[in-house]
Amino acid sequence: MIQALRGTKDILPEDVGYWQQLEQTAREILTKAVYSEIRVPIFEQTSLFERGIGEATDIVGKEMYTFKDRGDRFITLRPEGTAGVVRSYISNKLHAQGVQRLWYTGPMFRYERPQAGRQRQFHQIGLEVLGTGSPRADVEAIAIATDILKAIGLNDLQLDINSVGRGEDRQKYREALVTYLEPYKADLDEDSRDRLTRNPLRILDSKDQKTQEIAQDAPKLIEYLSDSSKKHFDTVLQLLTDLEIKYQINHCLVRGLDYYTHTAFEIQSADLGAQATVCGGGRYDGLVGELGGPETQAFGWAMGMERLVLLLQKLQESPTAKPDFYLVSRGEMAEAQGLVLAQQLRNAGFTVELDLSGSAFGKQFKRGDRSGAVACLVLGDAEAEKQTVNLKWLASGEQQAIAQSELLGMSEELRAKGLGAK
């Protein structure tokens, strides 16, 4: 029997409602802030991610799904969303249209060890605002992320924030950090020893306990910021305070991608028990230029949907919609009329589940009870002959025989009972 590949997961009908609720909530909040959805390809030239994310990162070095296509080109399934959006921004000359407020959703791919809330094919909702260096853009984006998370029921949130400054700030800090860490090289975990020469700032992100203890006394990046970088960060913090968004400065927060500048942030939720990052991002003022576009200031974030769905499943029952009517029919004429009646009711704005089994009435009634429908419509040979239908309210058991044409004219009365488009 063929199974799904390790690190991939079927999203079954009983779970899809959580995904739709999350997507709809995000869509409504982003639309209110006048962010427009963008859809970019799932695969791109490998060089896009090597240049955009950075060859020294774990994503490029260890985790990308890369292959040669029939044109002998190296192609990569997107491991994150920002690089593809920026490529589209450049190739479609969106920079000529002023500030771009964009958002996206869809699957990403990384070869990681699968665990709860983390798959090799995973899904993100992301936001990008391109063409402005204003600290207000940073804070607006963080506020929108906070609104989405709160709207789906997450209240125990923690915002960690830091500034990684500009490239020259980080270069000075990198030299100081390496000087500090060199004497501890033998005590660092294997990945961190490798990063010491390739990407030393990532050592601050290490989950190894011994490395974390060493990093606690390392120089702080904030001490190496230029005056303009400090001013940007101070303004961001003040604007967060103005919006009453609580935060804590995390000096070890550098994020995992090379393109970040100035603000870097993560939002964590304790609703799963241990703290788990549910949103992360920051400013990336050099990425558009690095990928061949005009120098453009930008800010963005991404949310991992798998973790958010796990949280939703813990907080509430499935939001999968229940039908208004469950239509039971038996007999050739009744089944034909039932199909027509179901379509007519759907066209009138009602949700109707049509039992297609042809089994005995008793079995169909049991499925109707389990469906969660408000009412059951019953068509047998007798009803088909008279062009009537039996309407049974499942909560009370009350029944009435109605002409099929009369039922279709009862839209207002049925909506008053809670059926139909809400």
pLDDT digits (tens, 9 = 90+) for 192-226: 888 888 788 878 878 888 888 888 888 888 899 99
Q: Are residues 231 and 356 in the same domain?
A: no
Q: Over range 380-402, report the average pLDDT.
A: 93
Q: Over range 48-73, report the average pLDDT.
A: 84
Category of 387 on φ-ψ map: left (φ > 0), alpha (ψ -120 to 50) or beta: left
Q: Are residues 277 and 386 in the same domain?
A: no
Question: What is the C-alpha to C-alpha distance for residues 156 and 149, in angstroms, rounded to an integer?
Answer: 10
Give me the chain's average pLDDT, please.
91
| Residue range 16-26, pLDDT digits in tens | 999 999 999 99
Question: Which residue, of 315, 343, 367, is where some domain finishes?
Answer: 315
What pLDDT shows up at residue 222?
87
For residue 410, what pLDDT band results from cuts at 50, 70 and 90?
Answer: confident
What's the longest Cα–Cα distance across the chain?
92
Q: Are residues 149 and 273 in the same domain?
A: yes
Q: Are residues 96 and 40 in the same domain?
A: yes
Kindly state whether residue 173 falls inside one of the protein's structural domains: no
Residue range of the domain that includes 371 = 325-416
| Residue range 158-197, pLDDT digits in tens | 999 999 998 888 888 888 889 998 888 888 888 888 888 8
Count CB atoms within 10 A of the CB of residue 209: 9
Place of tokens 């690095």: 290
Q: Are residues 253 and 378 in the same domain?
A: no
Question: What is the C-alpha to C-alpha distance for residues 103 and 81, in angstroms, rounded to an integer?
Answer: 10
What global pTM score does this model have?
0.87
Number of domains observed in the structure of the chain: 2
C-alpha distances in Å from residue 12, one per residue of 9, 17, 113, 320, 336: 9, 10, 22, 11, 30
Q: Are residues 276 and 355 in the same domain?
A: no
Q: Which of 164, 157, 163 is nearest to 246 (CA)?
A: 157
